[in-house]
Amino acid sequence: MFLSTDFLTVHYGVDARIAKYFVDRDPPAGNLYWKDKLLYLRFEPGYIFIPLIVDILFKNGFDRDQLLSSEFINLMEGIGHVSALEETNRITEAEAIAACYDLAVPVCKNEQFLQDVTRLLKGEESKYTSFKTGFNALHRGDLFLYSIAALSADEAAYDTAVKYWFALISSLLLLDDAEDVPADLKSGDANAFIESGMDEDGIARIKQLVKDNLQLISTTNKAMALRLDKQLVDMLKKPHFQHLLNLQ
């Protein structure tokens, strides 16, 4: 599905300049994350997340020019390449963390944030440990947090960015996981629903997470929260969830 500027602005409330920037952007050459992709954006969590999080950061006070700068965008894209290398088992998790750290250092605006993210990724106690969702499967894209280090902001803004980051990416990954439950049960791939146990208690935890995520996102972008809510409700009406979820 082609994601147009109008689609992003109307359905997700994305700032028009931000939406146009990413719709018009070409996939970076030689980047495994965009391998064989003709378009920069796709209707998949790892791609649509980019304009959505940039819009959220902008509406939380980060400078738009900085968010669309080559420093920030190139770092995010570079991290995408490294994450794809890890996902395809060409490098280890430790190597991926080290590679992304090295990419972030030259453009880092906050050394303490960089160290906090590194500790988080290594499973060590971090300032941001308490921000996690409680589902390991929803943190499979946490390497991208390094990209925030390229942004100038006060200390509180970094904390806000991480909170919204987790709220958005976990909501998008839940959409992906809901679709993939049957396949992931066979393959053993990470999936938050499977991790939850697919019982009443586990599904209740996911429902509470979604509620909290959307409440937070709505404080910045109500259109985005409403769209995500509709997508999640529609997805969770699939047959393998009907006996567990009350969507009335």
Per-residue model confidence as pLDDT tens digits over 28-86: 999 999 999 999 999 898 999 999 999 999 999 999 999 999 999 999 999 999 999 99
Q: Does the residue 248 lie in any domain?
A: no
- CATH number, domain containing residue 140: 1.10.600
Give the number of domains in the chain. Answer: 1
Q: Please state, in angstroms and rounded to a whole number, the distance separating the CA atoms of residues 134 and 139.
A: 9
- What tokens does 245 get? 């979820």
pLDDT tens figures, 208-245? 999 999 999 999 999 999 999 998 888 777 775 665 45
Enter the pTM of the model: 0.93
193 is in which domain, residue-wise?
A: 5-241
DSSP assignments along 153-169, one per residue: --HHHHHHHHHHHHHHH
Q: Does the residue 178 lie in any domain?
A: yes
